[in-house]
Amino acid sequence: MNKAIRALALCAGLLVATAAPAQHQAPADEPGPQSTRILEATRDDQAQRQQVQPLNNAPVWRAVNSGQAYSTQLPANEGGVLIQPGGEPWRLTRNGPVTQGGGWALVGVLLLIAAFYLYRGKIRLHGEPTGRLIERFTFVERLVHWINAACFVLLGFTGIVMLFGKHLLLPLFGYTLFSWLAILSKTTHNFVGPLFAVTTIVMFATFARDNLPRAYDVKWLKSAGGLLSRKGMHPPSHRFNAGEKLMFWGAVVLLGIIVSITGFVLNFPNFGQGRALMQNAWLIHVVAALLFIAVIFGHIYLGTVGMQGAYDSMRHGYVDEAWAREHHVLWYDDIKAGKIPAVRSQEPEGAPVVGPQAASKA
C-alpha cells in the first residue's frame, strides 16, 4: 500500500512540476512565467517536506486541486484542469440536501395525497349520468397529452434511479445489476429528454388558449375548487379550472422550460460549457424536476382514482353532460347555447350529444 501511495504521489508531483502552459514557454536564459515559478516552488517545497514528513504530499495535491489549467493536448472544456475544486462541494450537495431533502419531499407529497384521499374519498358526481356526451378532448389533443406524459414518466423514473439509486437500489441489486440499470436509465434519459422538450412546445400550442386566466378563476382559487368540502360544490369554471391552469402555466410551461433548457446544457457538453456551469445546471434541473414530479403526483391522483370521470375524458375524449355541468358549468353553458360545439371531431357511433346538435339529429 505504501509503495502504491508513493508511486501515485510521485506521478502527481511530476505532472504538476512539468505541466507549464504551452503558450508561455520561456527561453532558457529568461525567467519563467509566474505559473512555472509557482510549480518550481511547489516541487522544491515537496522535496523539502519529504525530508521531515515522508509521504506527506500536501504541496503537490494543493497544486493539483487549485483548479489552474496546465498544458494539454485537449485544451477545450477545461481539459488542462486536472481536478476542479468545485467538484467536491457539488458532490456533497448532491448526496446531501438534494438527494435527502428531495427524497423526503416526494414521500411527503405521497403521504399528503393519501391523507387527502382518506379525508375526501373519491370525488363523485352528485347527479345521475344522462348518457348524453360532450367531447372534452379531441384525438389530437389526447395524442399530444399521452406522448408528453409517456416521456415524462420515462424521464421521471430514470431520473429517480440516477438520483436515489445508489442509496436505495444498489444495496438491494448489487453492483452488476445496478450498473446495467443505471446505464440504461442514463441512456434513456438522454434520448427521451429532447422529445419531451418538443412535445412540451406542442402541448403549449395545443392548450394555451383555453388556459388563459379569467376573472372567475379567483373565486375558484379562494375556495380551492371545493376540493376540501365534503359537499363537493365546484365553483364556476370554463373548460379548464384555475387549478388546471396553475398546473399548466406553472408546471408544464415554466418547469417544462427550465428542465428542458438545463437538460440540453447537460446533454450536450460539446458547446463549450465548463464544469461549473454544468454543476449549476444540474442543481437547477434536479430541483425543478422534483417539483415537477410532485405536481404530477397530484395531477395523476385527480386524473385517476381521485375524481370520477376524469380518466375517461382523457382516455376516450368524452364526458357525460352531468360531469360537465358539475365540474365546468361555464363551459357547459356555452355548449348548451351553441357557442362551442359539443363534438369537434367525428362523433362516436350511437352516442347522443348535447346542445343544438341534438335537435338537428332528431
pLDDT tens for each residue of the chain, 362 residues long: 455 445 544 445 544 444 444 434 444 444 445 555 555 556 667 667 667 767 677 766 777 777 676 666 666 667 777 777 888 899 999 999 999 999 999 999 999 999 999 988 888 888 889 999 999 999 999 999 999 999 999 999 999 999 999 999 999 999 999 999 999 999 999 999 999 999 999 999 999 999 999 999 999 999 888 887 766 678 899 999 999 999 999 999 999 999 999 999 999 987 878 888 999 999 999 999 999 999 999 999 999 999 999 999 999 999 999 999 999 999 999 999 999 998 888 655 545 555 444 433 33
Quick one: 265 and 288 in the same domain? yes
Mark which of 78, 101, 116 sits at the end of a domain.
78
Quick one: 227 and 133 in the same domain? yes
Q: What is the pTM of this model?
A: 0.77
Neighbours of 102 (CB within 10 A): 20
Quick one: 40 and 110 in the same domain? no
Report in angstroms the alpha-carbon separations of 96 from 100, 166, 285, 310: 6, 13, 16, 38
Return the C-alpha cell found at 152: 415524462
Quick one: 279 and 201 in the same domain? yes
Q: What is the DSSP string of 93-104?
A: HIIIIIIIIHHH
Quick one: 272 and 313 in the same domain? yes
Taking the C-alpha atoms of 78, 84, 88 and 89 in order, what is their torsion angle to the nearest 10 degrees? Answer: -80
* Residue 10 belongs to a domain: no
Taking the C-alpha atoms of 159, 160, 162 and 163 in order, what is their torsion angle to the nearest 10 degrees? Answer: 110
* Residue 9 belongs to a domain: no
Contact 293, 283 (CB under 8 A): no
* Residue 3 belongs to a domain: no
* Residue 4 belongs to a domain: no
Question: Using only C-alpha atoms, what is the Rg of the chain?
Answer: 30
Which CATH number belongs to the domain containing residue 119 in this structure? 1.20.950.20
Mark which of 38, 54, 78 sits at the end of a domain.
78
* Residue 213 belongs to a domain: yes
Quick one: 351 and 315 in the same domain? yes
Number of folded domains that form the chain: 2
Amino acid at 318: Y
Quick one: 352 and 256 in the same domain? yes
Quick one: 297 and 200 in the same domain? yes
Quick one: 130 and 95 in the same domain? yes
* Residue 155 belongs to a domain: yes
Residue 251 per-residue DSSP state: I
Mark which of 50, 78, 106 sits at the end of a domain.
78
Quick one: 132 and 25 in the same domain? no
**Domain ranges, residue 302:** 87-361
Quick one: 112 and 46 in the same domain? no
